[in-house]
Structure 1
Amino acid sequence: MANSVATTNALQLAEFTLEGGQVLNATTVKNYICPDATQQEILYFLELCKAQGLNPFIRDAYLVKYGSQSAQIIIGKDVFIKKAYASGVLRYMKAGIVVADKDRKIIEREGTIKLDDEVLLGGWCEVSRTDREFPIHHTVNYKEYEGKKKDGTPNSMWASKPCTMIRKVAQSQCLREAFPDELRGLYQEEEMQIEKKLPEKPLEPGMASPQQKNKIMALAAQKKLFSFEDKDITELEKFCDSNGYNLKELKFEEVDEIIALLDKYEPVQDVEYQEVKEDDQQLEGQQSLL
């Protein structure tokens, strides 16, 4: 009980205002970033964002949780490079891939171009600071970082862009080594075993969250107002408009109202009408009754 109270108080103290004016607190994290996170996980996320000046609403940081696993904090793309430049002491950075050619000669190549007959071995990065005499050079082994699915096969990102992914791993690790004060404890998507691509669209506090939108779409699909195949939201927009809501400008507090309306909605069933043909004698008999 005492631990719970202490955590609650700590969460209240961890609240802070971002540069964009948004307030980052336990409620906004729960509503917009990671609904399944525990209080302890939210507290750590808040403290890290505060200490590192990260704005999760513009995707500087993610709090990701799958099932019963502990939540993971993942830093958004380009944050490492932005912090390195902001330090004022970055002289240069270059990165690429490590390959073996057909003669088993190992080559460090800048960029991500690999020939068809070459074997991808890893990635490399070099960072130089103006306040240090020698640059930091770092290499990583591809097999140690390849992201895999539960069945052991590469996940979609590593299967389609292996050179890009391993180069980013080398870049992240080298920058973290070169700028420990700025990047200590921060890890990017490519270094973590994340199967799904993280969203990049900024979040808008006060508006419907991604989780809420997904719930609306799923229910609308059951009611034949939306199809996940063609992504056509026309009928769902009409439904919302007819009830006084703007689907694209839906507020957070309006979502439950829309879901309640969708629950009650019954799709119009298509009815096939068959034309009944009557002979002239039947028609005359009916007309005589009028």
Structure 2
Amino acid sequence: MSHGRAKTLLFARVFLALLPALLPDSAASAACLPVSGLRIAARDLAPLIPAFADAEVAEDLGPSPAPGYRRNITAAGIAAWAARNGVVATGGAGACFEWQLEPIGREQIAAALSSALPSGAVVEIVDHSRFSAPSGVIKFPRSGLSLPTGISSVRPVIWRGLLSYAPGRSVPVWARVRASISVSRAVAAEVLPALKTIASSQIRFETADVFPFPEATLLEPVDIIGKTPRRSLRAGQTLTKDLLTDAPEVERGAHIAVQAQSGGALLRFSAIALTGGRKGETILLRNPSNGRNFKAEITSKGQAAAIEPVPDGKNR
């Protein structure tokens, strides 16, 4: 045999030995058996050894490989395992095992997102995970959602979830989405000064598409009327719970009833509140009869008790 022919035959043998590793995954995986759980069970061998289809075998063949990997078991290993479990293994072949992988579909993502959103919400999938994974259940928890600034639904956000394919086993997935829900939201009909009680005429409701979360952002009239803004709010501004607080018992500029002790006498008169406050707080009042100021403690809605001598005045 010539040197050139021997060299060609050697190359051919090496190529054939490496051929399985050079094949595409779809071709190389054709001979592998699919696994159905975290451990390789007897039923997973049924396509190779039909006797295992209905056999009640407690012992398994060991842990399943991670998704994307394979586990090979030799013919001798299968035969020894079958003999221990009283099953006749014919054919004398080894086997490889792997998870069956499929590309994550847009329909799977859409179904999981819909179940995570409140009723009436609309979601648009801008992009999503496209890798292959075992068949399983996809869930998108609220904790995986990146919230947009404010309640705008215009900008897409990332929502991270999990595809669970076996007990305690999952792979991360994600979706870039634009979500919205049509609601009736409250807005300021005019400028709302800080710490001034809001009247019904100062608010209006309008329909808008907003981000579905947090759901507690939107308020009803009963949640707004009678409250006060924590700070001045502009006309047209959306009203949310964090912007409002309970109205104080005494507002600045209000006329309130005052009680004061003078010797053994109890005096009652009206004064003007120069500062506002809540029950138990100290405020500054002005006696309208003489224009002098004094301090008092708020006792209830529109009432206070003087805590220092009241300046003389004709209304004492």
Q: Same fold (TM over 0.5)?
A: no
Q: Which has the higher helix share?
A: 1
- TM-score normalized by the length of structure 1: 0.25
Q: Say which structure, 1 or 2, has more relative contact order (CA 8 Å, 6+ apart).
A: 1
- Larger gyration radius, structure 1 or structure 2: 2
